Amino acid sequence: MESEPLADAVDKLNAAGTAVRDARLSVEQLAGSGIGEAVHAATGIDPFVFHLAIFVLAIFVGYSIVWSVTPALHTPLMSLTNAIASVIVVGALLAVGISATGLSTTFGFVALVLAAVNLVGGFLVTQRMLAMYKTKDR
């Protein structure tokens, strides 16, 4: 008599373990297919449209943030964009070093050159903006 409740508990535990394993597998399948494909699987929205919508929203948010900055904060903002450009240089170096095909190496090199130009230009502009705040010695 005591073995029946124990057997029922073991059966329920096995069923719960199977349900958890199946749920984990479906989550891993969604995560492995990328966020666009996961959204497509959940809502039926095309991944291209999903990524395009994120890109357009990022443009509007970036535009509203940059144009709402007061002139006194432009120099610190330039310094921050220089830091972001340096992170892009690291990503471009990784793209060049890890790439498996010649096309990806070429695009990584182009990204590296453009990010380096952006970084150097940003530092020159920041230096010029900081020079505007210095007082002239006579």
Q: What is the pLDDT of residues 10-62, one digit of tens each?
A: 676 667 666 656 655 555 454 445 666 777 777 787 878 887 888 899 888 87
> Is the predicted pLDDT of residue 81 greater than 80, yes or no?
no
pLDDT of residue 32: 47
Q: Is the dihedral of CA 92, 98, 100, 102 positive or negative?
A: positive
pLDDT band at 116 (very low <50, low <70, confident <90, very high): confident
What gap in Å lies between CA 71 and CA 74, rounded to an integer?
5
The answer to whether the pTM exceeds 0.75 is: no
Per-residue model confidence (pLDDT) at position 127: 81
Sorted by where each begins, the domain ranges of the chain are: 70-138
Judge contact between 107 and 116, C-beta under 8 A.
Answer: no
Residue range 84-103: average pLDDT? Answer: 78
User: Helix/strand/coil (H, E, C) string of 38-67?
Assistant: HHHHHHCCCHHHHHHHHHHHHHHHHHHHHH
Report pLDDT for 64.
83
